[in-house]
Amino acid sequence: MSITVSTLPALEQNLIDWLSGALTSIAPEYVSRLTLERTRQANHGDYASPIALQLAKSLRLPPREVAQRILALLPPSVLIDHVELAGAGFINIFLSSAARQSVVMEILNGGSLYAQSDQENDRRVLVEFVSSNPTGPLHVGHGRGAAYGASLCNILEKAGYQVHREYYVNDAGRQMDILTVSTWLRALNNTGKLSFPFPANGYQGDYVLSMAQDALDRFSLGDTENMVSALLHACPGLNNQDTGDEEAQMDCLIASAKTLLGDIYQNLHAFVLAQQLSDCRDDLQEFGVVFDEWFSEQSLFDSGSVAKIVERLSEAGHLYRDQGALWFRSTAFGDEKDRVVQRDNGLYTYFASDIAYHVNKFERGFDRLINVWGADHHGYIPRVEAALIALGYDVAHLSVPLVQFVSLFRQGEKAQMSTRKGQFVTLRHLREEVGRDAARLFYVLRKSDQHLDFDLDLARAQSQDNPVYYIQYAHARISRVLERWGGNTDLLHSVDLSALIQPEEVELFQILRAYPVLIQQAAQELAPHLLAFYLRDLAASFHGYYNAVPFLDCPEALARLALLKSIQIVLRDGLTLLGVSAPDVM
RNA sequence: GCGCUCGUAGCUCAGUUGGAUAGAGCGUUGGUUUCCGAAGCCAAAGGCCACAGGUUCGAUUCCUGUCGAGCGCGCCA
């Protein structure tokens, strides 16, 4: 990554300033474009700058000649051991040992605040994630959104943002009505009064059965016998499967249920919603995912926000009526077709309330909005942006990272996930099978917009193959060494580190030094997987170091223990951001 | 058909916003413990970065096209 952002760690900023001084007298107009790169290979030094290559053309000089001139103007610095001209014209910078080692003290003194940025503290960001319909248990797909979103929020905070974690509750739509009716029908069945088959497009899962029984225990459901015959009268065809329109049948069931049950329907609806939300909240909390706010879609209707937004669009001339429905001319703002906001039956569409929701987010004064959505919603983004543009909001402040689907693999075979009969694999089941740590890490071990093949056997394995243990083991190993040593780790803050000059040590310094920039990058790219890979690299580097040198009975003992302690701090910090524990003993 | 996301080692995937000799894990092969935890380490083998053009000092990265994969294209949410 080219390092050009303003939130540079002190050392990098010093190097930029140092190079800038030389560049000023050669090509002052290019000083602002000066970049520094971390190198991939040790023989290229600690940092490299390609600035000479970039300037060669406009200066009409060979790149190596430009580099030579810059080198000649560089003053000596305590940070620098030496500088080399290499390859086509790269300027390779080799830090002094003291400059390399200084990162250890930065970490020991900073503790969990190492890499914590305070540069963007004024930037408030709202991250909406999971937002699953409260109509059944969370499944493994939601789990990925939860793990991604939660890790992202933690990283954003580390990078200096003020983060608001929000779950959008779709408590207003038809799906909730279907769940309510499904529960009611199951309850009728439990009383032995149901005389027609349970509809195929109702919710089938076991959790509906248990809610039905709970409802029976808590409510009076009225004169159930008369209700069943009234239902059959209102919706003829309930007894004949495979006839007519299933969806129309369901609409009829919903309408009849509301009429027949009256207030009881509202109670049952509220009960079912509360049950599902409570289950969802517990599930997520056990997964280490906690929200600041559960935002109700229904509240947007109750407050009149939805009607108000449609009115605003109308006043601005963006709506028209066609075939009884009210349409938003989204094609005028980049969408591929126009969209309905109010149906011919007078009901607002989900789209309408979603516009109101996004306007609500903007009105709450956030500098930035992030929606974590399932990849199947990607076609939905243009219409939401179209509406926001039409209403005068700046969609550049809205990001919508997409989370792709998850396939579970067991013994090399793809595990089937059928939502039809409620036989999908739930997040709760996954957690019970592989544990929270493995689940959290595996979910972010892949770029979020790529399909994820989740290997259940590997995640469950208590073996070397499992990347969770690989990282955690590094942390536990350090704990054990420090325990063996037995001293107070505070004493390590004043240790002389000058003996740390082994290649393994230099490599570790560079990795540790990269952590703050990595956090910034992961935040900027909304990419927690970068942190997961970083931690694996750091663990690998440590394991190699562990096998290469002694830590206790040697002249460098205290210095090396200080380095170990700093590695442990970063490992723990990174694992914590990803929602994974950092055990001292395994 | 149109749109979005992709195509990198046998498999699963990274790749520092265009940099030097493209990396890791698994799998394969061969080593490694009188010593701080072997859930570890070291080494070897494995690549036309899907293909063809273009942009420039320089392309896995940016642009165009072809082939192939996944997803989306409701008055559902």
- Measured in angstroms, what separates residue A245's CA from nucleotide B62's C1'? 51
Distance A305 CA to B40 C1' (A): 60
**How distant is C1' of B43 from CA of A544, in Å?**
14
Angstrom distance (rounded) from CA A90 to CA A37:
11
A327 SS3 class: strand
Cα separation, A508 vs A521, in Å, equals 20
Confidence of residue A308 (pLDDT cuts 50, 70, 90): very high
Residue percentage of chain A with pLDDT more than 70: 95
In a 13 Å sphere around the CA of A504, the CA atoms on its Cβ side amount to: 16
Give me the mean pLDDT over the A314-330 stretch. 94
Pick out the nucleotide with least CA–C1' distance to A247: B76
d(C-alpha A86, C-alpha A504), whole Å:
24
Q: For the segment A133-186, what is each residue's pLDDT rounded down to a tens digit?
A: 999 999 999 999 999 999 999 999 999 999 999 999 999 989 999 999 999 999
Average pLDDT, chain A: 90
Chain B bases closer than 7 A to any CB of the protein: 2-6, 12-17, 19-21, 23-27, 35-42, 56-58, 70-77
Q: Give the burial class of A483: count Cβ atoms within 10 A of its Cβ; 0-12 exposed, 13-18 middle, 19 or more buried.
A: exposed
Is a pLDDT exceeding 90 seen at residue A300? yes
User: What CATH architecture is A10-95?
Assistant: 2-Layer Sandwich (3.30)
| pLDDT, tens only, A64-103 | 899 999 999 999 999 999 999 988 889 999 999 999 999 9
Return the closest-CA partner of residue A177 out of A297, A70, A60, A265. A265
What does residue A288 show for φ and ψ, rounded to 5 degrees? 80, 20
| DSSP state letters, A28-87 | GGGGGG---EE-SSGGG-SEEE-HHHHHHHHHTS-HHHHHHHHHHHPPP-TTEEEEEEET
Name the nucleotide nearest A517; use CA and C1': B16
Q: Among A118-122, A271-275, A400-404, which is the least confidently predicted range?
A: A118-122
Protein CA at A89 to nucleotide C1' at B71, angstroms? 45
Nearest nucleotide (CA of A549 to C1') = B36
Q: What is the mean pLDDT of residues A125-132?
A: 95
* Domain ranges for chain A: 10-95, 174-271, 464-577
Residues A310-338, mean pLDDT to the nearest whole number: 93
Which residues face A326 on adjacent strands? A321, A342
At A421 the pLDDT is 46
The nucleotide whose C1' lies nearest the CA of A93 is B20
- For residue A525, what are the contacts with CB-CB under 8 A and spacing of at least 6? none
**Tokens encoding A20:** 């800038």
Distances from the Cα of A267 to the Cαs of A137, A258, A270, A296, A433, in angstroms?
A: 21, 11, 5, 17, 36
Closest residue, CA to C1' of B73: A379
Give phi and psi for A414, each to the nearest 5.
Answer: -75, 125
Nearest residue to B20 via alpha carbon and C1': A87
A519 CA, B33 C1': Å apart: 38
Closest nucleotide (C1' vs CA) to A342 is B75
pTM: 0.94
Taking only the tens place, the pLDDT of each residue in A393-433 is 999 899 999 999 888 887 777 776 554 444 458 899 999 98
Cβ atoms of residues A128 and A372 within 8 Å: yes
CATH placement of domain A464-577: 1.10.730.10
Segment A346-383, tens digit of pLDDT: 999 999 999 999 999 999 999 999 999 998 898 899 99
**On the CB side of A173, how many CA atoms lie within 13 Å of its CA?**
15
Interface TM-score (ipTM) > 0.85: yes
Q: How much is the pLDDT for A1? A: 32
Q: State the pLDDT confidence band at A463, using cuts at 50, 70 and 90.
A: low
Q: Please name the helix (run of DSSP H) or strand (run of DSSP E) that holds residue A573, with its range, or none.
A: helix A557-577
